[in-house]
Structure 1
């Protein structure tokens, strides 16, 4: 009887492990925080309701929500990615792998995470309004901290590629000037690096290709991201800021510097379009297009 009981318990345990929902890591965007009840806090609650038993870790940089918001502007993206890498490696609930959802600039950070920190493995990366080829223009600032936004603008006007600005201002670290491509490649400490613009880091491409899916959501009326095609890895044709090249016409794709061409051929790149402005989507859209196809495993 004891042997039978042990076998039953072992079987039940293995079934619960098999049927467990993959954990989810969230990373918020500029001007937001990990736990704002009206933004990522609401997303976390929605996921927990729709995926009973799911573990959701929402990235916080700093000791509280105020520091988390400030660090979305005045910090170093490379240090943040390294910090989050150490955090998820130390989290026993994530050791078997996880899905991730990045909102706006948080999507670039999560992509850097999968490229630089392959263990534990990221399975699906959902980029909601992420600027994967960077931006050329500072938008209206979310939130109510007008003083902080004005300070950011002043620093960008001082020069996005000035060493002090580049190393301390998050938005400068994914600033992509199409009129000065060589300076961008030489001095960008973050976005040019994770896009293999100057040199090719083969581990970046190899690690990115371990994803089951890279889901890229573009907002069709986005007034925050310039150009909005950056959300699908498109960007301005070098040397000007009018004509935008779609991903498949960029050297990033044709030279396959990041493995995107190979991922595309394998059906791992998913291009989703969402009506509305930046990060404006309904619960129904999110459930049908994100939760059910990519998170309900």
Structure 2
């Protein structure tokens, strides 16, 4: 057997070991008095790695004394699940997740949801597009609800390199091919060329009601008991970090952040109604992107999962 075939065989065996030993998309389920929790991972992650979402699943089961937890695995295997963070269009992923949630009888009476980074806006799309089974509380950890405009850790590059790459991305982000093949392009939000963004974005502009007012989206979003947005105050990945609180640059420039209640999306999703009802919750945590401690999670997130 050639070396390459041996390596492929070892990889396949390794994936099978991961899948059947510790790659478990569901956990808990012995406590029927607690609403189930659904998780959705971010870019470069997957549903069940023990040092990542697998640890979060275990923690939730422990703190809810056996509550049911499901971490969404896109495509049904570890390889596709990881690739989905980069190469499977969010609309396809959301449709897949909606079908999986509907088939899970343990979610029929409702569930809480926690999205990590881009998984946050994907779960919001689930809430808006798929009201059955009902999502009760949505928690987004570092979700980019108004998109991103900038390169992660750009200061590690020279200014000229940053500017060049940004210009390059700006020129191709809204092409049909880029939108179809790169997940991050679907929530790339150019505040200087807003029309290009609205007409070219094949995901974010739609769920933010920036193309036309979709009353179905508004109605479903408002069914949430709470919409909790967590911003990482020292975030070097999400630009601008205020997008995690549904804010963004004032249109026409990329320096000044517009207050949420003055933004178009605040009107288009009628978030003022949710704000008046006390459904919008904004939490801030010191640290870089997704850098949360076990103690912080237990203190701030677990109580939301225990609410009746």
Alignment-derived partner of residue 267 in structure 1: 278
Gaps of 5+ in 2: 1-29, 155-164
| Pairwise CA distance, 1:140 | 5.0
Note if 1:281 corresponds to 2:262.
no
Please tell me whether the aligned partners of residues 150 and 166 of structure 2 are also in contact (alpha carbons under 8 angstroms).
no
Alignment-derived partner of residue 186 in structure 2: 173
Please tell me whether the aligned partners of residues 191 and 249 of structure 2 are also in contact (alpha carbons under 8 angstroms).
yes
Please tell me whether the aligned partners of residues 232 and 289 of structure 2 are also in contact (alpha carbons under 8 angstroms).
yes
Aligned length: 270
Note if 1:243 corresponds to 2:256.
yes
Please tell me whether the aligned partners of residues 156 and 165 of structure 1 are also in contact (alpha carbons under 8 angstroms).
no
Q: C-alpha deviations, 1:48-88, integer Å up to 9, x for none? A: 11112211110111232232111100111001000100000
Please tell me whether the aligned partners of residues 25 and 58 of structure 1 are also in contact (alpha carbons under 8 angstroms).
yes
Which of 26, 32, 40 is 2:45 aligned to?
32
Alignment-derived partner of residue 234 in structure 2: 221
Q: Residue 106 of structure 1 aligns to a residue in which SS?
A: helix
Alignment-derived partner of residue 244 in structure 2: 231
Q: State TM-score, norm by structure 1.
A: 0.86
Alignment-derived partner of residue 199 in structure 1: 212
| Pairwise CA distance, 1:153 | 9.1
Gaps of 5+ in 1: 1-16, 142-151
Q: What is the alpha-carbon distance in structure 2 between the residues aligned to residue 21 and residue 172 of structure 1?
A: 37
Please tell me whether the aligned partners of residues 31 and 67 of structure 2 are also in contact (alpha carbons under 8 angstroms).
no
Cα RMSD of the aligned pairs, angstroms, is 2.1
Q: What is the alpha-carbon distance in structure 2 between the residues aligned to residue 118 and residue 167 of structure 1?
A: 26
Alignment-derived partner of residue 11 in structure 1: none
The correspondence of residues 1-297 of structure 1 with structure 2, limited to 5 A, is 20-140=33-153, 156=169, 159-253=172-266, 256-297=267-308
Q: Residue 303 of structure 2 aligns to a residue in which SS?
A: helix
Q: Residue 229 of structure 2 aligns to a residue in which SS?
A: strand
C-alpha distance 37-30 of structure 1, shift in aligned 2 (>3 A): same
